[in-house]
Chains A and B, each alone.
Chain A
Amino acid sequence: MKCNGGSPGDCFRAVGEKGTIKMKKSIFTILSNRKLAKNTYEMVLKGDVSAIKRPGQFINIALDGFYLRRPISVCDWDKDSATIIYKVVGKGTEYMSKLSEGAELEVLSGLGNGYDTEESGVNPLLIGGGSGIPPLYALAKELIAQGKKPTVILGFNSKDEVFYKDEFSALGARVLITTADGSLGIKGFATDAFESAGDYTYTYACGPEPMLKAVYNTSVTDGQYSFEQRMGCGFGACMGCVCRTKYGYKRICREGPVLVKEEIVW
């Protein structure tokens, strides 16, 4: 990703100006909604995915009875469907977990900047923690399609939360699992697998902020880090999600959620 320079006061640069981001509002139909692991569900949605351009983008889902939408990363997409993976953490995601096949959801798609695969080099390292793992799936897929050889570290709390281990392997990625309690793979946090990962050319990360920070401190390469923030609109109108970066204030929903390492301010 090119960060277009600028001064700290240089705020509100819209990615949309580059012509890459254009959101779309449409109705998606649930093709499947299944439990993958403890509190974790995978939902496949059929509908117009034309606004989804890059791994790391998200969709914003309207739910009956909830005023604000729920932002969820796109895990994968093809010509007429998109897959999301979500963790039940509150009322909204609990409601989602109870929806059945055939139900319709009103969705804003094509949100956020997403990951850029240009600067990854041949051996990028992808690190995901818990519900931050989903967007790395489409990213790994794209990198592999470009002939690159990604290593993926998937961090969980324990074995019963593990998901998509085989799916990542099936793409052809090298997969390392860490669990905090040691019930599967390497015992510890995602960063404890760096040694086993060996040499890498670039770093992509998505997960809870403490994990992102640990990766930031451990990684020796440039990289891209995806952040979460409480959102109002999810498309750049309300300034609800803004964070500070070295290149000015950025809306996580629009100039993010992916920030390049050099611009991150903790």
Chain B
Amino acid sequence: MVDTRVNLSGVILSNPIIPASGTFGFGYEFAEIYDINILGSISIKGTTRELRFGNEQPRIAETPCGMLNAIGLQNPGIDKVISEELPKLRKVFKKPIIANISGFSIDEYVYCCELIGKEEQVEIIEVNISCPNVKEGGMSFGTLPENAAEVTRAVKAVAKKPVYMKLSPNVRDIAEIAAACEEAGADGISLINTLTGMRINLNNMKPVLNNITGGLSGPAVFPVALRMVWEVYEAVSIPIIGMGGVSTAEDVIEMMLAGATAVSVGAANIKDPYASKNIVESLPDLMNKLGINKLEDIIGGAH
């Protein structure tokens, strides 16, 4: 029997697989088709203080080997997430939950982190300072080290759970930002969010997305994400949740060898609702094949 357990700041996951925020709803939809308790954890849809519709339609576009999304953080608002969505997820999911939080001001991040941190089953707070699809706020907090550090300090002062800062790849030096977050007290780093991109519709010669640009994810971004996890691992000593284009158990091993302690699976769930399940189930066989007994042993192993 191989050991797939990993440890994120004291939170033990039975395996490193975490469906990524925004690609798995609030989780319970997937419980209709398989037992989601096989997952290590779930990162729920990004939540803000107020209800948000997000961007106007269309907000999805296809790309070679991936997709663009410009959802714009649609969510029912933190109160509804706590009173309705989390209880529904709790009914079908007994594992630790990762709450993903977004904001348009430091106050909003603080407000949301404080509230959601009180929820028992929320064991990690993932603070999204990297959403490329909202006009103000979001990513702007994640593009400068001093801003990222400021958000980190503010949420750390109130959060009762480990705080993972989720970083944008749309920056000059992601390792520098990760280091600033660590210094400001972050318990871990999540990366990457989506890469800003666009498509143009040849029928009307206008951008496909109403928002013009959207975030690229899927297999197309995997090598970029892997490189960034590698760089961040070199720069910090706190745990990393690696993501970006992960679609197979092989990708998970690569991410961990680059330095990830756990791995999020995003767009792959959208393409195939069973993607995360398939990855979890093929991991032990792959470990056997590669001669890995304890998954934790390989973290950063390629350095």
**A residues apposed to B, CB below 8 Å:** 9, 11-12, 14, 16, 22-25, 62, 66-69, 108, 229-233, 235-244, 249, 254
Contact = CB atoms under 8 A, between A and B. Distances in A.
B67 A68 contact: yes
Contacts of A240: 59-60, 69, 71
B1 interface: no
B59 A249 contact: no
A230 B74 CA distance: 16
Nearest to A108: B273
Interface stretch (B6-14, B24-32, B176-184, B251-259): B24-32
A23 B71 contact: no
B301 interface: no
Q: Which secondary structure characterizes the binding site on chain B?
A: loop
B133 to A, nearest CB: 11
B76 A238 contact: no
Interface residues of B, number: 40
Contacts of A243: 57
B29 A229 contact: no
Contact of B22 (A24, A231, A239): A239
A238 B57 contact: no
Given A68-B67, A108-B273, A242-B54, A235 B62 contact: no
Contacts of A242: 53-54, 74
Contacts of B53: 242, 244, 249
Interface in B13-55: 22-26, 28-30, 32-33, 45, 51, 53-54
Nearest to A89: B203
Contact of B57 (A24, A229, A254): A229
A239 to B, nearest CB: 4
B66 A25 contact: no
Contacts of B62: 66-68
Interface in B267-286: 267, 269-274
B67 A67 contact: yes
A16 B45 contact: no
Contacts of A66: 62
A232 B268 CA distance: 11
B31 to A, nearest CB: 10
Contact of B61 (A24, A229, A230, A235): A230
Contact of A233 (B54, B59, B218, B269): B269
B58 interface: yes
A11 B64 CA distance: 32
Contacts of A11: 51, 76, 80
Nearest to A8: B51
B63 interface: yes
A24 B273 CA distance: 10
A249 B75 CA distance: 10
B65 interface: yes
A230 B270 contact: no
Contacts of B63: 67
Contacts of A68: 60, 62, 67, 270-271
A233 B62 CA distance: 12
B69 A238 contact: yes
B155 to A, nearest CB: 24
Contacts of A108: 273
A68 B62 CA distance: 6
A108 B271 CA distance: 10
Contacts of B64: 67
In the A-B complex, the 10 residue pairs with the closest CB atoms: A240-B60, A230-B58, A233-B270, A237-B25, A239-B74, A232-B60, A230-B60, A236-B29, A68-B62, A232-B270
Contacts of A25: 33, 272-274
18 contacts: A9-B76, A9-B77, A11-B80, A23-B33, A25-B274, A67-B66, A67-B218, A68-B271, A108-B273, A229-B58, A232-B69, A237-B24, A237-B30, A238-B60, A239-B22, A240-B59, A240-B60, A242-B53
B273 A233 contact: yes
B32 A23 contact: yes
**From A9, A62, A66, A238, residue with most partner B Cβ within 10 Å:** A238
Contacts of B58: 229-230
**From B28, B32, B51, B269, residue with most partner A Cβ within 10 Å:** B32
A66 B66 CA distance: 9
A9 B51 contact: yes
Contacts of A238: 22-23, 25, 60, 69, 71, 270
Given A23-B32, A67-B67, A242-B74, A235 B273 contact: yes
A67 B29 contact: no
Contacts of B28: 14
**From B23, B25, B65, B269, residue with most partner A Cβ within 10 Å:** B25
A239 B21 CA distance: 12
A232 B53 CA distance: 17
A185 B284 CA distance: 64
Contact of A23 (B45, B66, B267, B273): B273
Nearest to A244: B53
